[in-house]
Every structure is written in C-alpha cells, then in structure tokens.
Structure 1
Amino acid sequence: MESDGATGSINNGDAEVERVPMESFKQRKRDTIDRFARPGAIVLLLVWGTVLLLRSILALRGNSSGDDNVPVYHLPNSSHTDEGCLKVSFANVRNSTFQPVVKSLQWISTPDSAYHDKGLFVTIADDTYVVRSVFDEDFSKVLLNASTFQYGDVKYNVDSLVASPDLSKLLIRTNTISNWRHSSFGTYFVYEHESSSFHLIGDNLAIAEWSPNSIDISYVQDNDIYIYSTKHSKTTNRITFDGSELIFNGKPDWVYEEEVLEGDKALWWSPKGEYLVYYRIDETDVGEFSIPYYVQEQDDIYSKIRKIKYPKSGTPNPIVELWVYDLANDYAYSADIQGGREEPAFPLLLTEVAWVGNSKLIAKTTDRSSDILSVFLVDAEKQVSKLVRENSSDGGWWEISHDILHIPKNETNGRRYDGYLDVMPVDGFNHLVYFAPVESSVPIQLTHGKWEVVNGPAAFDYQSNIVYFIATRESSTERHLYSVNLDTPKELKAITNTQDNAVYDVSFSAGSRFALLSYKGPDIPYQKIIDFQSYKHDKKIKGNVIGETLYYLEKNDALAARLSLYDIPPKTFQTLNLGKDENGYDIVANSFEILPNGFDPSLKDYYPVFFYAYGGPNSQQVLQSFSVGFNEVVASQLDAIVVVVDGRGTGFKGKEFRSLVRDNLGDYEARDQIAAAALYGSKSYVDSNKISLFGWSYGGYLTLKTLEKDAGQHFKFGLSVAPVTDWRFYDSVYTERYMHTPQENGHGYNQSAVRNVTAIAEATRFLLMHGTGDDNVHFQNSLKFLDLLDLAGVENYDVHVFPDSDHSIRYHNANIIVYDKLLTWTKLAFTSSFINN
C-alpha cells in the first residue's frame, strides 16, 4: 500500500517501513482518537441522560424498592381529576358555582297576627314590593311598584323598606353609607300608600323604627332621638338634646355595636307604642385609638386619620344608662339598674333589654368581666325598678345573648300572668326556662339534658302554648327543630327528622303558625314553607315530620346539576381523641377532614395536611352544613388533607368544655391543635414535614400561639391573618369576659400574649397578613409582633399588608389577593419551594 503524499503508507510483509516525521504522527493520532471518541461520547451522554430522565419520572410518580412505596409529593392537575371530572378552583368558587340560593322572608306582623296568623310576608317581583300570604294565595297587596322613586328633582334607589304594622305605609332607606360592621347611615322617607306620596324624614339618619301604632317613627340623627309623626308628616318630638361625638342616644358606640348589641340600634318601642326605652352611652373617659387611611383618594399626599373611642382591656368602659320615654307625657327618666346598690368602681355592662308587657321591661346587666348577671324589672308606668334575680357564672362567664321572648298574659289559654322565655345554664348546659309572672326569680325549666338550646326560643304559638327552638340534642354538630309546651315541660317533640344528620334554621310568621324551614346541610340545601296547624301531613318525609309542607321556596336544583359535573373532595365529620387531660379523662373534640380527589391511603409519607382553625371561646367551625369554598380549593388544588378541629374552649359541648380556657386564652386551644397535628403526622400516608395551620382573627392568634407552643415539632408552617397578638390590645368587653382585667390577671395576660418568637422561628416558615384599616383587631397587634421578630433576629417569615382594609380585608380587591396569597404561599410550602433567608 502506498502512502499518498506526505502522509506515507504502511506496507505488510517484507516491505520496508517508511519513517514518518513526528508532527505527522501526532496529527494521525489525533485523527484516530477523534474518529472513535466522538461516537463514544454521544453514547455516554445518551445513557446518562436516560438515567436522569428515569430518575425524574420515578421522582414524580413514586419509586418502588422491594415492598417499600416511596412516593414524592407533586402538585396535581389543577382543572381535572384523573377520571376527567372538573375540580374545585378559585374561579368557580368566586363565581358562585357552588353557592346555594338562600331566600329570606320579611314576615309581617299586624295587630291581629298573634291569634289570626295569615302568614303575611313581603316579597319582590319585577321590581314591585308586594305583601302576600303563604296561606291565602289570592291575598296580594302592592306596597311599592318600583325599586326607584322620584322626590323633587332627585331619583332615589330603594335600599331597604319596612312596612308599618297596619301595612298602610312604608319606611324607606336610600343613600346608604356603611359605617362599622353592623351600622350605616342613610336618607329615610315615608311612603303613603293611599296617596302614593313620599315624605322626607331626614338625611344622615343612623336608624329609624316604626312604632306599633303605625303612626310614629323614632329615629336617631347626630346621636339624638326624635319622633316623626306620619299623621302630621313632620318631626313632632325631640327626646334627647345632649347627643355629640361622646354621647350616644338610641345608637350604640363602637364597642356596644360590635360586642354587646351586635346591631345598630339601642332603642325599643313598647308593645303598644306608649313608651320608648333607649341607651344613653357616655364615651368621655374611653381611650381613643387613631387609624390612618392612606389610599382613600388618589391625589392625597397626607393620610386621613379616623379616631375611635375604643376601650382596651383594663381601660375605662363607656358609661351606659337606661332611659325610658313616656310619649303621652313627653317625659323621659333614667331607670335604676343599680338596684339601690352603690355604683361600682367600673361601669356595668347593659347587655339586654326586652319588653315583657305593655309597660314593663327586663334589663340584664353584668359586671365588666361577666361574672355576675343581674336582672331588673323596670315598670315604665310607675317609674320603679326591681332587682328580681342575680346569678353567678360559677367559674365560667355569662355569654352576652338576646334570648328573651315575651309570653303575653291570656287566661283563656291558661296563661294567668305576663311572662317570658329565656335561656340559662342547667347542670352545665344551656336550656330553655320560663319566668311567669315576670318578677319571678325561680323559673320553670322547659328542657334538660347534656345538649344545648341554640339562640334561644325560635317562636311561640300564642294559641297552643307551644315553644319552638333549635337544639343540639342529636349531636353538637347538628341543629334540629323541636317543640315543647308550657303546660308539659320537658316533654319534647322533634319537628325535623332526627334520623338524618342535618343542620336546620327556621323563621316563623308573626303568629308562629307558619315557618320557613331552611335545610342547610350536609347535603344540598333547600327551603320550604310549613303549616303547623294543618290536618294534612307530608306523604314523603323530607325535613319536617310534623306539619304540612305548603310548597318549596327553593330546591336548588340548578346547584345539584352543576355539582354533578364536579368531583367535590369529600368531607367527613368525626370526633378525635386528643389524649388525656390533667385529670386522666379523654379529650374528645369535634372535627372534620376533607380528603383530596383520588385520595390513596396506600401512599407512604405523601400527603400534606392543611389545618384551619378559629377556636375562639364558645365558637364553632365543625357544623354539618353544606359549603364548598377555600378549604375545598386547598384539597383539590394542592392534593392536601384539610382538617378542622374544634378544641377545648369552643361551644355547644357544655360549660365544662368551654370554660376551661377562662383566664388562660391560647393555652388549651393550642394544645389541642398540636395533639391533632401529632395524630395526623403519625398516619402512614401523611408527610409530617408538611403540616400547616391557617387562621383568621382569633384563628390568626391561635395560629401564632400554636406555633409558639409547638416550636416546630409538628406544625412546620403557619398562616396568620389579622391576629390578636396581645390581649391588652383588644377591646375590653370581649377580652375581659374570658380573661378578667389585666389588673386582676396580669400573669394570664402575659402567658396568653404571643411573645416567644424564637420558638415560633423553629417552624420552617410562616406568613402574616393584616389590613391597616382594621377597626376591630388593630394593625397595632401585627406591628408589635413584627417588632418582637426584629428584636430577636427572626427572619423566616413573609408579610403582606393591605392598605386601608378593615377586618374582613376587602378594600381595593384585597379579598381576592388575600386568598390567592394564602393558596400560593401554601403551595410553595408544600413543594419545598421557599428560599429561606
């Protein structure tokens, strides 16, 4: 073989070997290496790439090694299940895909309603307000045939209306401006049906209320009370003259609106409209809290400041007096609610007022820490007051309630005296009691047992002496309707079908013959109208086992059709044994869990757990009602198990269970959440390093307190929204009911505050969010907490602040953002995607 040119050649046999220069040899060597190395490198890369790909696939789907299943958590498909069903998402929660239609009836009370109940109610059809009867289909009375009206040169929208008792006139509110949670201001008109005319009462009125006489209207303007006469079409009386920024007449201040009356009015007409009783609230000594607002106007360069008289724990409360106005004599006087006793060092709380006769009323007061309940009978005609009973809370507290229902005298029906129904603790559980006559100090007990009556008596049938009420007799997570007769106490009848787990609500017509029964879950809600005096009975039992169903107001068939397209993560109600208490007794708490779509219990160390908690005293989250919301979004979108636990301190399980937290908020509640987390963390299918806790308001406080007590052992992540962080910062009426004052219980306040931030730092990471315009739980709470984090050098957290949002966090699209943030942040936590500082 010959070599061509400078390369030479190699011959076999006896041929002479030609010498090759060194440079030429090196080049030939490189050529040879390149010829073989390039394909080898490509093969090597292909093999290594295949290994990496296989490892990635196994990491996503889970790898099996022998008998051990070692899955790796990953986010599921966000829109469909493996079977092709639609999943719950924020989009369909926010567009009300899963929202049941819930209708309400504005029942009408006329002078003869108690004994001639036609089931009258107001309804709206084609922008026309009409009075109809559930009993007489032919009855119809048009109140107003438009949702707008013209007065002078101005067109007004009807925001709300209330018919006079005789149905001849309407009280209309328009130009409504929201104030605090329950209160608003507006322009009020009277509409005369007969003359089809409108009459202006006034602008910027806080409230306006019909008198039972259908002539007079009481209203509050600039914190003073006036009487408007429809007979004369003008204001005829001014009852008070001292209304100001510090003196509230007939209208609650901030703390009485939020914590005591839970509404916007503090005045009540007597049954015949002869007297008007009202609160006079003096805030002079109450501390002032300033809230800056930053984004109210686009061009503002200075913040706007709103000042609130807000009594914080241990500081002066407003002074409240009870006044009675006599219309006939145009005279008002201050009723004695001290019982002749020396006025206490701190003002009393005036918690409930109710007329129990044409000229008599019951007034309930407590000391500021709700230890002692005092009940007064006030005689407006004689202008005298009498302390009729006084009860100790016996280690618990007196929860503020509005349960009194007047039972009028009627000798024909066996009622010799005016009396009233109330709810009182009996052997540690809240039950119905009957006081007759009204000055009685010892009641007749109507119900008993280890269950509780909820929200007092629902209604009273004036002809049959039957009392209707909602109770937890079947389960503390259920609500059924029952009845008991005044003549046969403790003999109860179930009105709803107690064979099925259910939550019911009810509203009654004026004479309690008819009712709107609302089934609220756990299945799809429905509403029906029932006649309790019908001789007919339902052929098919659905809801009620007593009374005839006249018709369904709402079946929610459209919701049922929509739900058939979705795979809603199942919710299971249960009780959890959280271990033993200090006395060796089992701690049994109500709970529910929501399992993600396609839940597979055979997976090992796979599922994250998302706890949601509120946990405040006497509260309840575990209720068997229908809902599809944020918790279902978390389960569907994050493939997480959602758990809600009502630990000790929560309501409807008796005094012993709830009063344990007295003077020591945050301790037992946190222990029970930790015990539940330990229980779930021990389950084979749970990844114990991905357990989180989310809460808002008291739940936000409980989240931080639990992270503090747990110190990263079980809860690795926390999401706290609008939390209290120190109970000295919260309002006196709520806090002192459970904690007494800081002066009396300094140690308890120190223990209950969120202070050990280095323990919280043991968690992997936590999130804090708050609105700067929160008038309820002041932003001060989060700022003080952030300062503690700074001082301790803690940095494993994230913060989102919502400018000018109040406690509900809704201002300027904030409610969308807050929930998006909660979901996104949790997603990062569960996928280990945080870059920790």
Structure 2
Amino acid sequence: MEDGYQELDEPNRKKRGSLEAWIKLGVILVLLVWGSALLISSLPLEHHSDHKNGLRHIPKRTKNGQLKVSFANLRNDTFSPVTRSLRWLYSDDATEDDQGFFLTEVNGTYVVRSVFDKDYSRVLLEKSDFVYAGQNLTAESIIASPDQEHILLKTDTVKNWRHSTFGSYYVFDTKDHSINFVGNNISLALWSPNSNDVAYVFENNVYVYSSKAGKTIAQVTHDGSSQVFNGIPDWVYEEEVFEGNQALWWSTSGEYLSFLKINETEVHEFPIAYYVQHDDDIYPEIRKIKYPKSGTPNPSAEIQLFHLETQHLSSVFAGNSSTLVTEMTWLGGEQLLVKVTDRTSDTLSILLVDAGKGGVVTTPRVCPSGEGWWEITHRTTYLPKDIKKGRKDEGYIDLMPVDGFNHLAYFSPPETDEPVILTRGEWEVVDGPTAVDLETNNVYFIATKKSSTERHLYRVNILKPEKIEAITDTSKPGTFSVSFSSGSGLALLNYLGPDIPYQKIVTLRTHKKDSTIHGNIVGKTLYYLEDNAALHRVLNLYDVPKKTFGTLELGHDQNGKSVTANYYEILPNDFDPSRRDHYPVFFFAYGGPNSQQVLQIFSVGFNEVVSSQLDAIVVVVDGRGTGFRGKDFRSYVRDNLGDLEAQDQIEAAKIYGNKPYVNQDKISLFGWSYGGYLTLKTLEKDAGKHFKYGMSVAPVTDWRFYDSVYTERYMHTPQENPEGYRKAKVSNATALGQAQRFLLMHGTGDDNVHFQNSLKFLDLLDLAGVENYDFHVFPDSDHSIRYHNANIIVFDKLLNWIGQAYDGQFVKIG
C-alpha cells in the first residue's frame, strides 16, 4: 500500500513508509523533484484565506517579526530545496578507470559530461523536438543505449496505473542523426547490454527490435491479451511486487531475455465508475480492473526464457495463484536468480535457472520467515568471478535476517546456502547493497547503524566481512541517499536533512580527504552540484517550527517488555510552556507494517502549516509494526493489524494529554491510506477518551476489500485467519461515535483503496445512528486525490476542518 498523502511539496510515498521514498528516489536516479531556485524577490505574499470559514484570526508574523509558514508558501515552493538530476552512464572501462560519465539536459539538449573532466562534452541529442514522417514531435523522455550510439525517444505518453504508461518510441542514431520508428502504444522498452537490440512490449506481447536492422526482428510471444501480460506486470504485480512497470530482464551479455508471463484469468474484476471525465457524458464510464482481494484467486506467474540467436522460447518455472515471483536477477550471461514466495510471504525460495543448459532449475535455498514475513526486495547484486581480485567464483549479495535484523550476505558460489555474513548488529541495512566496486571489492550500503531515524552511507569489503567503515559523518544527525557511477568509484551524495539539503560529487577511490568535513568523512569532494544557498537566505525570513526527535515509552507488551517508539514533535511559533490547558495536539500517523515516518529529513509541509496557522503541537509516532527497528518490532502486528498500532497512538495521546500546557479536549489524529485506517481504528479503540477528533482520508475499513499481495503478507488469508480479519475491521460504530467529531474523505476513482471501503463504513454508521461526522467525496480522484483541483481542496478542507474543531465550532450530534 502506498500512502496517498503528500505534504504538497513532497513526492508520493512508497508502501515501506511515507518518508522512505526520499531514500529510494536518491538511490535509483537521484531524481528528487524539489523545484527550481528561489529568489527572495519572488516570495509569495502572505495571506490566510481561511477566515471566511470561521477560523480565528492568526497573526502572519511571530513575536520576533519573522513570517509564519502558510499554504501559500508550500504551493509556491518557497521551502522546496533545489535538486539537480544526474544520470550516470555505462562505460566499458569504468571498473578500472571510472571517469564518471553522466547524461544531463540543458534547455532540451542532452549532453554527455564527465565529473573528472569539466571540459569534456558530447552532444547526444541537440534538441528534444524532431520531425518524423512530416510530423512535429517532442521527446518526453530518452533512454541512451549503453554505448550511447543510439537513443530511444518516447513521445505521446499516456498514464496507465501508478507506475505504468504507454507511449510511441523512436530510435535516434547519434552519429548520422537518422530516426527509425519502433511503434505506438508501447508499454515498455529496454536496451540490451549489447547496445543493439531493444526488447519492447506492445499489446502485452514481447518483441525485439534491432537498431542495426532498423526493424523488429522477433515477436517473442503471441498470447498477450487483456488477461495475459508478457514482460509487464498486471495491476497487483505493478502495485505491490515490482513497484514499477517492468517484468522483463536482459542477461548481462544480451544473449538471453527473461520475462514473466502473468495470467490473471482467474482474478476477479472490480468496476470503477468515472463520472466527470467528459462534460457531455450522461452515463458514467465504467473501467474494470482485475483486482485480487484477500483470499481470492491471485494471478499466476510463469518465468519465460528467450534465446536471441536461436529465437527459442521456453518456460522454466510455472507458478500458480499460491506463489509470487518477486525478483529476477541475472548472475552473468547464463545464470538467472529468481525469488519466489508463497502468497502469504511465509516462505522464500531461491531458484537458479541455468539458461546454458536449457533452463534447468535448482533450489539452493528455502527460507521460512518464522514469526514474521518476507518483505519484497529488488537489490540482489551480482559479483562476477575474478581470481586476481580474490573472488574465486561467481556470486551475489543479498539482504537477509541476521539475529533478527536485515543485513548483507555474500553467496559465492551462487549454489551455496552458507553465505559470508558481511554486516551484523542491532541495526538494519536499508533495502540491500547500493553499489559494489569490483575494483576494490567494496560494498556500499545505506543503513541505520547510528540511529533508526537516520540514514548514513557505509562500506564493507567482501574479503573483510563485518569491518564496516562509515562514509558519511555520523557525529551529526543525518539522512543521506546516494547514486554511484558505472564503476562505483564516484558517487552523487545527497544530504536530505535534517538541515538544508545539498548535493556533492565525491570520489571514493582515493586516500585523500576533504579539509573541511561536510557530509562525507571518506573520499574527496570534487564539487557541489547544489548547495541551496538561495533557500538559506529565504529561511532567514521565516520562523519555521522545528522538529524535535526522541523516543516515547508506551508501556509494556504482553510479555512485559517495554515498548519504546520513535517520535517527533513540532512546537508552534512562540510556544509558551507556562500556559495552562492551552495547546491543541495534532497527531499525524501512517503506521503501516514496515513503514517509517520519523526520519530526520528536511521538509516544510502540511504539518508545519498546521503548527504555524493553528498554534498546535504536531506529533508523529512510529509505533509497533513500523520498520527499521528489527524483525521483532515489526512482527508485533502479524495477523492482527490495527490493534497494537492504535494502542500506541492512544498511549502517546495519554502522555501529551498529561502535559500541563495541552488542552485535553483538543487532541486529534489525521491519517491517509493506512493512516486513514489507523485513524478510524484508534478512534474506535479510544472511544472518545483521549482523541476527540479524527480525520481519515482514503482509508481501508475492512481488509477483505484490499489487495491480496499486501494484505496477506501481514494477515494471511481470511480463510486462515478469520478472527484476525474480524478484529482488524473498523466495526464498532458506537465507540467511534464517542469522539466529538470526525471527518472522512475519499476519491471515487481510487483504484488502490476502493471507494467501497468508505461506502461500507458509512452504511455501518447509518445502521448505528452515528451522525457526528463530515464526509467529502472527490469525483474520479485516485488514491492521491489530485483530479480537477482536488489536492488543493483536500488540504484546505483538512486545515479548515481541524481549525474549526479546535475553535469549538462543532456540536456533537447523536
């Protein structure tokens, strides 16, 4: 489940946590979209537009004369750091001589540059506008071949689901500037490592295009249909397994192509009605998607192997609705590693497919999860054999639990089930290895070694396991992401907070160090890509409420063990602790399994607006079930969603309610997606005792209604765990009615958390005669609620509604 909540200036968040997306974006392509440079002269005029809705007047400035944070700031990117995107390019000799070639775009011109040689410049594409067959076209994105002699140009992009699109593709020759057409309505196109061939998917069939021949040379599959997906995921695999639109992978030599054939024939359909797509529509448009709900048939996934030279296609593994294929990684030219779990993520199997022997499959590892579950990862990393470098055989690095915490393990040869443990301790490696330098045998990774609320960069050598070296400065709080050059000798280091972000290019194959420590304590800074000097100047004009991080003691678990949760609080401007029974407390929660919100990054978003404009204390608590604190902490919630997470929010509310400066009658909780569910479960469990108000956006209300892959990972199936599903459902409307008032909002076009959840909940309230709530529907909006100005309205509504609640304007009904 991905959190649909956005703090106006932040990107969508991933299911592992609403804040974890900051890390992922930096690791993949360092594409943190933070806006453009800010000038003081362009600052928006301050205003508070909510007076018309009955809110009390809020001063625009603090006592020291600085400006307060408002929605106008967020919507005009006043506090958005600038981030430069950089795409590292492949280089044949990068392992030994890493020149750090990267692709950059300036005013529509795509140029190859080198971080070492600032004078090096090679134009790949002069301009994004081009003419083909008499048509004027614009390349909306480009993908260069590994040798940079050809470029895939994508035009006419049409959005599909969260990660997938369709588009028209052309191949541009960077030498003679010729252009060849590949096809329209293509859903995926990938260069082969041989820089000649392109695998693409059209109408759910896989094809191979040759840039040398200038045409499609093979149709690999012929059975693609509305229910059979070759090379791309169906809805649930896209949303919950791959978190992307790719289910096709080239071998390292380009000799073989592996892909999934996903058959969703047995998956039940869910209809979604769209009401406002066209002004002249008098009947709603009905779109049906194959959506497997908990306990219903899943799609089946079959692993296909295609040999380019012989054009032989074979099936090497046929799964069924009880299995999930979660990852495929080529270990060299002929060996394919595949991860398979059962549908409830209890058991992980590692398969090795030998393409050179016709697709023979062996299973060197079968790993039970114990009391927890297997989270899906996508970072298994291949290490080729190199006797001179001490690597006696082929191998790979994987993420696996070591004493209850996720750590790196080196499997060599791939058939072994007894790896070399590279990292160990009561902390976690995040997602897996970030890069491997094959010249030095150093493995780089982001981890929580210093604190679970921070992310630092480390390295370990495969020949010196468990001897871990910090790359970033752990003497100061910090959250970093990183992307590495082709040879992993150079890195784009992104400092994400808690102070103002910056980016720098660092060389790590050196014994030299910076004279002034700023971020990295290992390696030499070549130059800053962005220092956000303009944002420093802007912030001098504002009194931005500060986040303070810490831990809360939330009582004891059923075994008598103390429950300690990470949290942060934001105190309002001109906070005065001597005031009695004064301050409202605005709790914001997500709380989904293995997620995280309490992370030390720089952000000025909705929480800061609430604190500034409503003179409220904002509190965010990562309770039991959240991630990056070890298996035991996240496994608390297995088979019992909504119970302990709600209890932890209530215990935190008790703590704040006992503070003398807090008004106990003005404690509220807000959440979106899983957070919306947690809000309702907390109000239900609390029955008005501590939380007086709640705001729930796009919530699950019954886990039988949510998709099988996500839900069953944490709850098993309804058939296996009927009592767990009954308890996890939002069902006690009478208890909910004990709150002073609550707000519910949902988009009717939500393909993720279906509008069905809110409708069922509303019916429950009607049957119980509960009336102390407000409801707002957003026609045709999906989970992020953005369609037809909806994102402006949803946040305005949230701020105005809770402002009215704190002002005592709501009279309880029923």
Q: TM-score, normalised by structure 1?
A: 0.90
The CA distance in 2 between the partners of 1:479 and 1:159, in whole Å, is: 33
**1:336 aligns to what SS in structure 2?**
strand
Match of residue 832 from structure 1: 808
2:323 equivalent among 333, 338, 348:
348
- Secondary structure at the aligned position of 1:394 is classed as coil
My pick for the range that moved more, 399-408 or 663-672, is: 399-408
Find 1:241's aligned residue among 199, 222, 227.
222
1:318-365 CA-partner distances (Å, limit 9, x unpaired) = 010001100011011111367xxxxxx843100110001110011000
Letter of the aligned partner of 1:361 in structure 2? L
1:476 to 441, 452, 459: 452
Aligned-partner residue type, residue 524 of structure 1: I
Runs (4+) of structure 1 exceeding 6 A deviation are none
Write the letter of the residue equivalent to 2:183: G
Alignment CA distance shift 1:78-1:804 (3 Å): farther
Look up the match of 1:588. Answer: 564
Equivalent position of 2:273 in the other structure:
292
Amino acid at match of 2:210: S
Deviations 1:348-395 (A, max 9, x none): 100110001110011000110000100000001102000110011011
- In structure 1, C-alpha distance between the alignment counterparts of 2:91 and 2:590, rounded to whole Å: 42
Check whether the contact 1:320–1:347 (CA below 8 A) recurs between aligned residues: no
1:294-693 correspondence to structure 2 within 5 Å:
294-336=275-317, 346-382=321-357, 383-693=359-669
CA deviations over 1:416-468 (Å, ceiling 9, x no partner): 11100000001100000000011111111000000000021010011110000
How many angstroms does 1:302 deviate by? 0.5
1:109-120 correspondence to structure 2 within 5 Å: 109-120=90-101
Choose which of 252, 265, 268 in structure 1 pairs with 2:249. Answer: 268
Aligned partner of 1:219 in structure 2 is: 200
Q: CA RMSD in A?
A: 1.1
1:99-114 correspondence runs (5 A) = 99-114=80-95
Residue in 1 that maps onto 2:770? 794
- CA 1:371 to 1:510, structure 2 compared with 1: closer, same or farther past 3 Å? same
Tell me, in whole angstroms, the C-alpha distance in 1 between the residues paired with 2:812 and 2:631: 44
Q: Percent sequence identity over matched residues? A: 61
Q: Look up the SS of the partner of 1:96 in the other structure.
A: coil
Q: Does 2:156 correspond to 1:181?
A: no
Distance across 2 between alignment mates of 1:360 and 1:78: 66
- Cα drift, residue 75 of structure 1: 4.6
SS in 2 for 1:653: coil
Aligned-partner Cα distance in 1 for 2:459–2:306: 37
Q: Which amino acid aligns with 1:277?
A: S
1:535: Cα distance to partner? 4.1
In the TM superposition, 1:702-717 aligns within 5 A as: 702-717=678-693
Post-superposition Cα deviations, 1:792-819, rounded to whole Å, max 9, x if no partner, equal 1100000000000000000000000000
| In structure 2, distance between residues paired with 1:78 and 1:195 | 63
| SS, match of residue 540 in structure 1 | coil
Looking at structure 2, the residues matched to 511 and 643 of structure 1 have their Cα atoms a distance apart, in angstroms, of 43
Please give the per-residue CA displacement for 1:159-206, whole angstroms capped at 9, x wherever unaligned: 111111111110111111111110000011110011111111000000
Q: Distance in 2 between matches of 1:616 and 1:536?
A: 43
Distance, in Å, in 1 between the alignment partners of 2:228 and 2:623 is 41
Query: 2:40 is matched with which residue?
Result: none
**Aligned residues of 2:456 and 2:479 also touching (Cα < 8 A):** yes
Q: Which amino acid aligns with 1:351?
A: T
**What is the distance in 2 between the residues matched to 1:442 and 1:785?**
50
The residue type equivalent to 2:757 in the other structure is: N
Sort the Cα spacing of 1:408 and 1:583 in 2 relative to 1 into closer, same or farther, 3 A.
same
Give the partner amino acid of 1:455: D
Matches of 1:135 and 1:412, distance apart in 2? 27
Distance 2:532 2:452 in 1: 26
Distance (Å, rounded) in 1 between the aligned partners of 2:474 and 2:57: 39
Query: 2:692, 2:740 within 8 Å by CA — same for their partners in 1?
Result: yes
Cα displacement (A) at 1:77: 2.5
**Counterpart Cα distance in 1 of 2:303 and 2:444:** 31
Gaps of 5+ in 1: 1-73, 339-344
1:136 Cα offset (Å): 1.8
Instruction: State the partner residue of 1:168.
Output: 149
1:661-810 to 2 correspondences below 5 Å: 661-810=637-786
Q: Which residue does the alignment assign to 1:823?
A: 799
> Secondary structure of the residue that 2:356 maps to in structure 1?
coil
1:127 Cα deviation from its structure 2 partner: 2.0
How far apart, CA to CA, are the structure 1 residues paired with 2:256 and 2:321? 29
Gaps of 5+ in 2: 1-54
Matches within 5 A, 1:55-70: none
CA distance in 1, matches of 2:317, 2:294: 27
Task: Give the residue type in structure 1 aligned to 2:657.
Answer: G
Q: Give the one of 64, 75, 85 matched to 1:83.
A: 64
Amino acid paired to 2:476: D
* Structure 1 counterpart SS, 2:487: coil
Q: TM-score, normalised by structure 2?
A: 0.92
3-state SS of 2:260 partner: strand
Q: From the CA coordinates, give the structure whose radius of gyration is larger.
A: 1
Letter of the structure 2 residue corresponding to residue 123 of structure 1: T
Cα distance in 1, alignment partners of residues 650 and 138 from structure 2: 52
Q: Deviations over 1:88-138 (max 9, x none)?
A: 000011110001112221110133333332111100123210011111222
CA distance in 2, matches of 1:115, 1:257: 37
Deviations 1:760-791 (A, max 9, x none): 00000000000000000000000000000011
- Relative contact order (C-alpha < 8 Å, sep 6+): which is higher? 2
- 1:303–1:390 Cα change, 3 Å: same
